[in-house]
Amino acid sequence: MTTKDNAAGAKLEKMTTNLAKIEALSSRLMAALAARPASDPGVQGPGQEIYMKAATAYLAGLMQNPSRVLEQQISYWGKTMRHYVDAQQALASGELRPPEDTGPKDRRFSNPVWDSNPAFNYLKQQYLFNAEAVQNAVAVMEGIDDHERKRVDYFSRQIVDMLAPTNFLGTNPDALERALETDGESLVRGLENLVSDIEANNGEFAVTLADPEAFVVGENLATTPGKVVFRNRMLELIQYAPSTETVYETPLLIFPPWINKFYVMDLKPQNSLIKWVVEQGFTVFVVSWVNPDASYADVSLDDYIREGYLTAMAEVRRITDQPQINAVGYCIAGTTLGLTLSHLQRAGDTSVKSATFFTTLTDFSDPGEVGVFLDNDFVDGIERQSTADGMLSKTLMSRTFSYLRSNDLIYGPAIKSYMLGEAPPAFDLLYWNGDGTNLPCKMAMQYLRGLCQGDGLAKGTFPVFGHAASLSDIKVPLCAIACETDHIAHWRGSFNGIKQMGSEDKTFILAQSGHIAGVINPPSKGKYGHYTNPRPVAGAPDDWKTTASFTQGSWWPRWADWLANRSGSMIAARIAGESTNPALCDAPGTYVLAGTARLPKG
């Protein structure tokens, strides 16, 4: 038998093995999909009303201004037909070349085959023509308000992005090339990845974004030394060990969002905000929220304020023997910090010396991109599903936020994992992104109905312990950090909320980048810059930005200086977990480990 025969036999054996694996994996896939629990249709997509409104608006435009609509359609037909004729002529002449390609550059089509191969180039150009036509059709709709137009535009783009040829095996040259190179092994690995993801998510589709084996919370993430010094059913309170001989007198208490886990601020040491703040000489306390299950169904925002905010504030004052603290709220925790400050002002309680808001919305009159999910078609479905489950599941929230950046957080990772058979990267931020938490049903609906839909805090109607909270009641010195490309808490909305607060001492900082990268931006990286303006936080957000000064680099040092001026004198460093307040366990505590992919050893 020749060497060539041996190679052919080995290839045949490999193919037979792969086919057997595919058969076994297909059976597992069917079983995993069958195990998917029933879910409310309202959480799967927008209601039919939006499609009816879109169709009605398009027809209205056709009736009222037919020439405008026809011009748009004729332009589309002309481009597609001209491209088809050019492709046919090139084929008839025997030239294996694509027709002229003057379309926009799109990183989804970075493989050179999309430009050099006539068939793939034809698919690409026709897809881009169709995508442009859909966008133009939405743009010319008449008789539809701005909010509905945004929703139609968003969900139209979702459909267009979903139908990109890169999302299908037969029209993805990267996947086909990899399959040929590996004799189909990449497709087997991809199917293994798909089946594993669906099994891990109880039949739901959720692509794994980061290698779950690469990180362990408490071992190579969330490693800043500290102690859990208090625990109740809502939180663990972590006091971090000092790294300086002296510290500022006034302690700092950070409230992270309970939609995710606190260690986004304590990833690796080189990008840990918590570690950096400790190194600046502050006594730092951080709340680690419980990851609620169905037994927390009736927990309300009042409970988060009473057993979370007020209790943590009291414990920090007791432990440090200080009458006041400085407080930080991040995202939804910033919104709730605003509610808490309004309550404290009404009660005559001066225990908060200053407040800092990270990427926080308190005025929801324009909720930004996330607003497409805040109409009743979605919120009604969320309420029905959450009532049945006792909680708003982390899977549903993660999926919703991922669709705000679907090409980056869904389709791109799915292509790499399922078509190319690649293992997910060892990326700490993406690992954290996949380590989500649930929300109690009652609290979630109060937030969605009363704050997001009703804009109750800005309108002064949202109740805290039975009394309406108001932005004008927030009178402590405050600093707000918003992020320029934030798709969850857009910076203009953040600005509009801050300007309505009653404080006479306001600082607003606009950081470059998004909801996470704009905040977790250590000075050592020298990466994203920020805008500041000595003018009052008033007027239109864009006017403020136009006259603002830009500084390259992190906003952290600027905030640390602001905080230092409101933190009193320097005293001997406080030791976490002293005999007067014994530690319950080491940081990062136990609550943060609920639902993590891997637990620390021991």
Which residues are identified as catalytic? 331
The answer to whether the Cα torsion of 320, 326, 327, 328 is positive or negative is negative
Distance CA 410, CA 417 (A): 11
Name residues whose C-beta falls within 8 Å of residue 485's C-beta, 6 or more positions apart in sequence.
Answer: 512, 513, 514, 518
Of the candidates 191, 195, 197, 198, which has an alpha carbon nearest to the alpha carbon of residue 175?
A: 191
Q: Please, which residues bridge with residue 254 across strands?
A: 286, 328
Name residues whose C-beta falls within 8 Å of residue 507's C-beta, 6 or more positions apart in sequence.
Answer: 478, 479, 480, 532, 537, 562
DSSP symbol at 221: B
Three-state SS for 450-496 is HHHHCCHHHHCCCEECCEECCHHHCCCCEEEEEECCCCCCCHHHHHH
Q: Please, which residues bridge with residue 488 across strands?
A: none
Distance CA 162, CA 559 (A): 41
Are 312 and 237 in contact by the 8 Å Cβ rule? The answer is yes
Say which amino acid occupies 337.
L
DSSP symbol at 100: P
Q: How many C-beta neighbours within 10 Å does residue 523 have?
A: 13
Can you point out the beta strands (E) in 290-390?
325-330, 352-358
Distance CA 411, CA 406 (A): 6
Helix (H) or strand (E) holding 600: none
Of the candidates 358, 369, 306, 314, which has an alpha carbon nearest to the alpha carbon of residue 335?
A: 358
Ramachandran category for residue 575: left, alpha or beta (phi over 0 → left; psi -120 to 50 → alpha): beta
Token output for 563: 């905080």
Do strands 235-240 and 226-231 pair parallel, antiparallel, or not at all (unpaired)? antiparallel
Say which amino acid occupies 589.
G
